[in-house]
């Protein structure tokens, strides 16, 4: 039997990771540019959560602000990338443009952490806010809130993509950018809004992270491995595949590693690497991921 | 003396970064392999340097097997220092063995990692390599016996026999190695292989249609570049005198070399040298100058990534081809032909 703290950790982690993987895939599909700043954008909002906690407010108050922060940064990044793309910059140049944002956010997080340490005399380079959480039916509230946020946002995106005019236009842009613009769709506006929402989702996920997990400015770099692995498992270009990939990677990192650590105790320290091993295996054995597997099964 | 130390320090670090950026240019500038995980083989090189020469020296000098190089690092090193200070032959042998071991291991790793990596589109290959580097960094930080874990480990210096000039010895060795590696890359890039690499970069399908084994060439290019990057890791570790795996970050050992290459000029080795030199000078000045900003409520070192980002942004917007853009082979070949005819 899996002990409850391990199961709780796996659940909270999988809710957060699957949302992040979905957002990363969505941004990739829209511009065909992997956003290297994605994880850092997501975890920038953790410092908002910390700030609210320092003001004796519930960390959950930070969630909408985290959404806005993530959305705003992502929007600016999109504008910069789109500007370069319109000038004919190569894919390498566009990925470098995302690195520009990654570096600025990473440095800003560290400067802010230093500032908090200077003003509040606390070590903001590494922190956890689990003590600020409350309980619902003897379970930590973060379990329900992260779950509801995850399910709610997936439902929102699905309905938006299927039921609204904006969603249909967005799907058209994702399928064929040039054809969509020929048909009179304002592609720039559609993509700006899409990147804002996806960035906001990342910010929302990030603002929940320190309520259960320990946070430091390097979390973004480490989590990027897991996000990438989840996308690879999902099939690189499948939104729902990446959601499933998020759950698989999260459970592998936490639950599978926990069981293995019962026999090989040293393995727990390397749980962050588990996802990379799975991703490398998937690339060799199942390059089209879960999405490809489902497609194959459907075709019989 | 301070000025000589500073100049030597700048030259040595320029050499390390020149090796890294030349390798990057060989992969990206010539072959079109988009690798963001340059620090992966560098960490391999550093870890082997932390692990191998110290333990080999312990065996050679018959130190108590109960002593562990990692756990009893200070004690073991003091004994080894006294032995190696009067034994240049063993010191050089240790250096050579380390370089050979790293070259072999990095070539194999590069070759093996190319199998999943080359199945990916260019952008995901970059991400795969980046994640591989980050994974190895995590492994290195979590494994105490390998390279001292989070705290790191102090290593032997193969030039202790030079006494007070041991740092100069290592720096000179780094300079000579860099010149040799630069000449090797120059020869490779100017040879028919260089043209084959460029043809693959420009159009893989065309290269394949004329019977070239594109994946095979890419695999060998990646493996060779891994080898050279691993050697850069060895030189860096010996130069620093210690290995702290956590210090081998993607910013310092992947993003900075990328900026150096982009600023200098992708596909142009002289441009890459120029970009590397200007940025190494700038970084060393920042490191020396940071003490003047003691009054700020944060560590001024965080301005470094911001500065890097701004420079990258300016380059991408105003001069995406770099200071010295890639030379057109047509014009060069034409000029060569004309000059030959005239002479």
pLDDT digits (tens, 9 = 90+) for A164-220: 898 888 888 888 888 888 888 888 899 999 899 989 999 999 999 988 888 887 888
User: For the purposes of burial, counting CB atoms within 10 Å of the CB of A64, is it exposed (0-12), middle (13-18) or buried (19 or more)?
Assistant: middle
**Of the candidates A89, A91, A224, which has its C-beta nearest B316's C-beta?**
A89
Reported for B52-56, long-range contacts at CB under 8 A and 24+ positions apart, including other chains, are B52/B97, B52/B98, B52/B101, B53/B94, B53/B95, B53/B97, B53/B98, B53/B155, B53/B156, B53/B158, B54/B80, B54/B155, B54/B156, B56/B94, B56/B97
Per-residue pLDDT band for B343 (boundaries 50, 70, 90) equals very low
Q: In terms of Cα–Cα distance, which of B200, B216, B174, B179 is closest to B267? A: B200
What is the H or E stretch that residue A140 is in? strand A139-140
Does the domain at A4-299 match CATH 3.90.120? Answer given as: no
Count, residues in chain B: 343
Q: Do B135 and A99 touch (CB under 8 A)?
A: no
Judged against a pLDDT cut of 90, whether residue B286 lies above it is answered with no
What pLDDT score was predicted for residue B329? 60
- For tokens 């060069």, what's the residue? B332
Return mean pLDDT, chain B: 88
> Best residue in B279, B308, B316 to probe A by mutation, most A CBs within 10 Å?
B316
pLDDT the model gives residue B16: 95
Q: Say what the pLDDT of residue B338 is.
A: 60
Work out the average pLDDT over B68-93: 92
- Taking an 8 Å cut-off on Cβ atoms, the answer to whether A270 and B130 are in contact is no
Interface contacts (A, B; CB < 8 Å): 117
Chain B: give the shortest CA distance to residue A162, in Å. Answer: 28
Torsion angle of the four alpha carbons A106, A109, A115, A120, in this order, in degrees rounded to the nearest 10: -140
Q: Identify the bridge partners of residue A139 per DSSP, sorted by sequence position.
A: A136
Say if the Cβ atoms of B299 and A114 lie within 8 Å.
yes
Residues B128, A33: C-beta atoms closer than 8 Å: no
ipTM of the complex: 0.84
Measured between CA atoms, the residue of chain B closest to residue A107 is: B302
Of A194, A213, A160, give the one whose Cα is nearest residue A16.
A213
Share of chain A above pLDDT 90, in %: 26
| Residue numbers in A near B28 (CB within 8 A) | 92
Q: Indicate the pLDDT class of residue B19, thresholds 50, 70 and 90.
A: very high
* A111 vs B115, B298, B312: nearest CB: B298
CA atoms within 13 A on the CB side of B335: 6
Separation CA A130–CA B11 (nearest Å): 49
Residues B258, B47, B41, B118: is their CA dihedral positive or negative? negative
Both tokens assigned to A146: 């992260």
Name chain A contacts of B116, Cβ cutoff 8 Å.
280, 283-284
B291 has pLDDT over 80: no
pLDDT < 70 stretches in chain A: 1-3, 124-125
């Amino acid at each position: 039997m899996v002990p409850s703290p391990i199961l709780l950790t796996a659940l909270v982690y999988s809710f957060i990771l699957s949302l992040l993987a979905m957002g990363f895939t969505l941004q990739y599909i829209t511009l065909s540019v992997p956003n290297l700043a994605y994880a850092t954008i997501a975890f920038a909002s953790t410092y908002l959560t910390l700030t609210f906690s320092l003001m004796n407010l519930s960390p959950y108050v930070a969630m909408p602000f985290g959404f806005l922060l993530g959305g705003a940064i992502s929007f600016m990044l999109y504008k910069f990338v789109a500007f370069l793309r319109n000038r004919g910059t190569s894919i390498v140049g566009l990925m470098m443009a995302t690195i520009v944002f990654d570096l600025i956010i990473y440095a800003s997080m560290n400067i802010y952490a230093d500032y908090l340490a200077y003003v509040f005399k606390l070590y903001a380079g590494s922190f956890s806010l689990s003590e600020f959480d409350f309980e619902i039916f003897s379970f930590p509230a973060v379990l329900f809130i992260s779950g509801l946020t995850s399910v709610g946002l997936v439902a929102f995106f699905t309905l938006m993509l299927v039921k609204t005019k904006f969603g249909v236009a967005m799907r058209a842009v994702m399928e064929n950018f040039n054809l969509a613009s020929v048909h009179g769709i304002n592609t720039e506006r559609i993509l700006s809004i899409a990147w804002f929402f996806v960035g906001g989702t990342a910010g929302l996920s990030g603002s929940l992270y320190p309520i259960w997990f320990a946070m430091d400015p390097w979390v973004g770099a480490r989590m990027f491995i897991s996000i990438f692995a989840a996308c690879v498992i999902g099939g690189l270009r499948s939104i729902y595949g990446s959601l499933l990939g998020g759950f698989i990677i999260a459970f592998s990192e936490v639950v599978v590693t926990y069981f293995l650590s019962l026999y090989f105790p040293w393995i727990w320290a390397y749980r962050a690497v588990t996802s990379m091993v799975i991703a490398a295996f998937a690339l060799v054995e199942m390059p089209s991921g879960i999405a490809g597997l489902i497609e194959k099964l459907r075709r019989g | 003396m301070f000025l000589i130390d500073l100049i030597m320090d700048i030259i040595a670090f320029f050499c390390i970064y020149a090796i890294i950026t030349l390798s990057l240019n060989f992969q990206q500038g010539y072959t079109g392999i988009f690798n963001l995980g340059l620090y992966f083989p560098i960490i391999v090189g550093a870890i082997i340097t932390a692990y191998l020469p110290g333990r080999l020296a312990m065996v050679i000098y018959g130190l108590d097997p109960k002593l562990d190089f990692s756990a009893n690092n200070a004690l073991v090193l003091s004994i080894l220092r006294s032995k190696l200070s009067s034994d240049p032959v063993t010191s050089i042998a240790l250096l050579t063995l380390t370089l050979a071991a790293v070259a072999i291991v990095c070539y194999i790793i590069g070759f093996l990692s190319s199998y999943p990596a080359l199945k990916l589109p260019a952008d995901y290959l970059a991400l795969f390599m980046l994640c591989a580097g980050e994974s190895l960094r995590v492994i290195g930080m979590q494994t105490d016996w390998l390279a001292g874990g989070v705290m790191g480990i102090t290593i032997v210096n193969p030039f202790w026999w030079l006494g007070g000039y041991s740092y100069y010895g290592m720096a000179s060795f780094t300079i000579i190695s860099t010149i040799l590696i630069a000449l090797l890359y120059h020869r490779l890039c100017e040879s028919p292989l260089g043209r084959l690499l460029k043809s693959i970069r420009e159009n893989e399908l065309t290269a394949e249609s004329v019977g070239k084994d594109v994946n095979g060439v890419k695999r060998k290019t990646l493996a060779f570049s891994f080898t050279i990057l691993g050697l850069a890791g060895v030189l860096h570790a010996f130069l620093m005198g210690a290995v702290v795996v956590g210090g081998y970050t993607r910013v310092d050992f992947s993003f900075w070399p990328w900026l150096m290459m982009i600023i200098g000029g992708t596909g142009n080795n002289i441009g890459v040298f120029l970009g590397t030199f200007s940025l190494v000078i700038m970084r060393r000045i920042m490191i020396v100058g940071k003490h003047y900003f003691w009054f700020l409520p944060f560590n001024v070192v965080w301005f470094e990534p911001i500065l890097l980002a701004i420079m990258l942004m300016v380059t991408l917007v105003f001069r995406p081809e770099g200071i010295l853009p890639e030379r057109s082979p047509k014009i060069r070949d034409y000029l060569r032909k004309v000059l030959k005819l005239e002479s």
